[in-house]
Amino acid sequence: MKEMLLISVITVVLNQKRGLQKTLGSIAHQGYSNLQYVLIDGGSTDGTLDVVKDSEGAIDFWISERDRGISHAFNKGLAQANGEIVGILNAGDWYEPNALEVVADAFDSNPLVDVVCGAVEFWDESSHHLHCFSNPEALDKETSVYHPTVFVKKSSYLKYGMFNESYRYAMDYELLLRFRRRGAKFLSLENTLANISLDGLSYRNWHSALKEARRARSQYFTWYNVAYYHSIAVMKNLVARLLKRAGLRGMYQAYWRSKNQHIAAKLERKS
């Protein structure tokens, strides 16, 4: 029998007691035995550490101390990751039950791939919100790959670099764009791998996140290209938020669904 790939999953958390419980639950229900779980706490004071201590048997490494931001916390986690494959799952987000097995199979079947990503479900409080596919081919234009679905070879982090700690919101986009521009090979799956709560830092600070995404693109493209796609991203977000604020839930979902139809068709043709 072929040996299972060791997968490291990193969770960073700061004062998210309830969100962490949901994340830990999804890790516990993976059923993937060759797993290293790393938890980086930024110095929580709300009872989060009680949750961590109650789950110590399922956590291979954890630390609680102040850090310099999320990018720094991610890099601290990467320094502790021993797996051949690394995933990052923020507190409050959760994996689908078979996510790690699907990812391991994808890497086994595609040994030259650096990054595997997949579809994501967005949730607003307790209700289902949106289903979106990751699209690495559109990274030059927009944030088109959803970070909780991303799994990266540890060797690829060593080759292409870790998180840029000058980014506070779009550090995942900057890293993935850098990987793609430097030649990393991506594989996008149609499988739903993860779920995201729409209350994260980047969602709440969407305008700042878009500014950082523009900064990341400015390293590779002309000012006109950067300005053009930044304007489109701002417009799309404004339209979506106006529809949601007006209570037009069906129109809001249809608006985002229309962005994903061609990606779904493309994935179907590949499968």
pLDDT in tens, 228-240: 878 877 777 666 6
* pLDDT 10s digits, 109-123: 999 999 999 999 988
Least confident of 102-106, 239-243, 251-255: 251-255
Q: How does pLDDT run across 29-40, given as a tens digit for each residue?
A: 998 999 999 999
Residue 193 above 60 pLDDT? yes
Question: Which residue, 20, 190, 10, is CA-closest to 102?
Answer: 190
Tell me if the domain spanning 7-270 has CATH number 3.40.50.620: no
User: Any idea which of 64-73, 78-87, 98-107, 257-266 has the lowest mean pLDDT?
Assistant: 257-266
Higher pLDDT, 110 or 262: 110
**What integer pLDDT is reported at residue 240 of this predicted model?**
63
E strands, the chain, where? 7-13, 35-41, 61-64, 85-88, 94-95, 115-124, 127-132, 151-153, 186-197
The two tokens of residue 265 are 């068709």
The mean pLDDT of 151-161, rounded to a whole number, is: 97
Q: What predicted TM-score, i.e. pTM, was given to this entire model?
A: 0.88
Separation between Cα atoms, residue 103 and residue 117, nearest integer Å: 8
219-233 burial: b if 16+ Cβ within 10 Å, else e = eebeeeebeebbeeb
Residue 1 has pLDDT above 50, yes or no: no
- Mean pLDDT computed over 195-224: 81
| Region 209-234 average pLDDT | 88
Which residue has 């529809």 as its token pair?
243
CA–CA dist 115, 175 (Å, integer) = 12
Q: Give residue 180's pLDDT.
A: 97
> What's the number of CA atoms in the CB half-sphere (13 Å) around residue 27?
31
Whole-angstrom CA distances from 228 to 7, 167, 233, 259 are 39, 22, 9, 18
Q: Count CB neighbours of 218 within 10 A.
A: 14
| pLDDT given at position 89 | 97
Please name the amino acid found at residue 218.
S
